[in-house]
Amino acid sequence: MNIELIQNLLTQSQFRDILMYRANFGRRSYIKPQPFKVYSGLTGGMSASTFRGDMADKRLDSWKKTQVEIYGSVEKADAMLESMAYFGSAVHEALVDIWNSQCFEFDSDKAREMFMESDRRLGLTHNESLVSQKVLEYHMAIASLMQFIYDEVSDILAIETMAICEELILATPIDLTCTLKDGRRVSLNIKTSSQINDHHLNQAAMEAVMWNETYPEYQVVGSGIIRPKSWKLDKVPTYDLKIMKMDEVNERARIMRKKMIACLEDPESSYANFDQRERIFTGKIKLGEAPKIVTKTIEQAFVESQQVNQ
């Protein structure tokens, strides 16, 4: 089981008190160590609670099937998704450097090695041209975010900081919480997709509500999406910025919350009552013998991982 600490990346911040761990064991979840509790990730909860007739769900299913067809298997498609998530995390970490130093040093060799190591860890076949393209897109995204900060931001409170909804048993890292130059404090989801859609805005709305529930003394008054755009290299970097006012945030979150509450009331719920065990084949067996399988709960696996890291 892959377990990763998630904590506000800004070290000089009041939001580093909440420590949670991301656990990947066939699905993405988050762990609060004290007292021990497992939460579903927000995107997983939203996906599990989407009505089958919804157009957004049909598009998501179609996209997932296309990914499997492109990469040849579910495992390879999942690895590519993890690679995309790593790309986003790398952008978040760069954002920390940008805010702390008010500058960024572009180093293609360092970025190339970072993405090559990520591909090796995920078992992806090395492809130099794809890695070079990823490095270019990474640097273009950083330049776009730098332009956004220069244009719009007066202060950054938190980067990749956990927020929780106890009622819905959900947790999620908030990409960016900042104060804009017009005085508004907002939560933003950083997307690298080609467009901003309703699903993205619903996610951003839930993130704002979860942030306000987790940090009531630091309420945001809006939420939205910041998306670095492709731009001509001889031009000023560009970005898409969509910020919703709280009326829209609350209405979107109200609809999503009703769907997830209905999901929670179902004992077969795919996000609230998921199997919290890990099964591992172990040992050497002879031909004809039954395989040896060790079953561990998430809590057992988590405790073992912490002991190994100490």
Let me know whether 165 and 44 are in one domain: yes
Residue 247 is predicted with a pLDDT of 97
Q: Give the tens place of pLDDT for each residue, 273-309.
A: 677 777 888 889 899 888 898 888 888 878 887 776 6
Let me know whether 94 and 53 are in one domain: yes
Residue 85 is predicted with a pLDDT of 64
Q: Give the tens place of pLDDT for each residue, 93-115.
A: 899 999 999 999 999 999 888 88
pTM of the model: 0.82
Domain range spanning residue 295? 276-310
- Secondary structure (H, E, C), the chain: CEEEEECCCCCCCCCCCCCEEEEECCCEEEEECCCCEEEEEHHHHHHHCCCCCCHHHHHHHHHHHHHHHHHCCHHHHHHHHHHHHHHHHHHHHHHHHHHHHCCCCCCHHHHHHHHHHHHHHHCCCCCHHHHHHHHHHHHHHHHHHHHHHHHHEEEEEEEEEEEEECCCCEEEEEEEEEEECCCCEEEEEECCCCCCCHHHHHHHHHHHHHHHHHCHHHCCCEEEEEEECCCCCCCCCCEEEEEEEHHHHHHHHHHHHHHHHHHHCCCCCCCCCCCCEEEEEECCCCCCCCCEEEEEEHHHHHHHHHHHHC
Angstrom distances, CA of residue 283 to CA of 39, 286, 293, 295 = 32, 10, 9, 14
Of these ranges, 160-164, 227-231, 266-270, the one predicted with the greatest mean pLDDT is: 160-164
Q: Give the tens place of pLDDT for each residue, 177-227.
A: 999 999 999 999 999 777 888 989 999 999 999 999 999 999 999 999 999
Let me know whether 109 and 62 are in one domain: yes
Residue 241 is predicted with a pLDDT of 95
Let me know whether 186 and 258 are in one domain: yes
Residue 67 is predicted with a pLDDT of 47
Total length of the chain:
310
Average pLDDT on 157-170 reads 93
The span from the CA of 36 to the CA of 301, in Å, is 12
Let me know whether 149 and 214 are in one domain: yes
Residue 6 vs residue 152, higher pLDDT: 152
Residue 175 is predicted with a pLDDT of 94
**Residue whose C-alpha is closest to residue 80's, from 56, 61, 57, 63:** 63
Let me know whether 188 and 283 are in one domain: no
Report residue 257's pLDDT band, with 50, 70 and 90 as the boundaries: very high
CB 200 within 8 A of CB 244: no
Q: What residues have CB less than 8 Å from 144, skipping those under 6 apart?
A: 228, 229, 231, 237, 238, 239
Report residue 65's pLDDT band, with 50, 70 and 90 as the boundaries: low
Residue 232 vs residue 74, higher pLDDT: 232
Let me know whether 111 and 234 are in one domain: yes
Let me know whether 251 and 287 are in one domain: no
Let me know whether 80 and 110 are in one domain: yes
Residue 251 is predicted with a pLDDT of 97
Let me know whether 172 and 291 are in one domain: no
Q: Give the tens place of pLDDT for each residue, 19-57.
A: 889 887 667 889 998 889 999 999 888 887 875 555 455
Query: How many folded domains does the chain comprise?
Result: 2
Above 50 in pLDDT, residue 70? Answer: no
Report residue 263's pLDDT band, with 50, 70 and 90 as the boundaries: confident
Let me know whether 28 and 68 are in one domain: yes
Q: Give the tens place of pLDDT for each residue, 3-24.
A: 888 888 886 667 777 888 988 7
Let me know whether 7 and 153 are in one domain: yes
**Parallel, antiparallel, or unpaired for β 153-165 and 37-41?**
unpaired
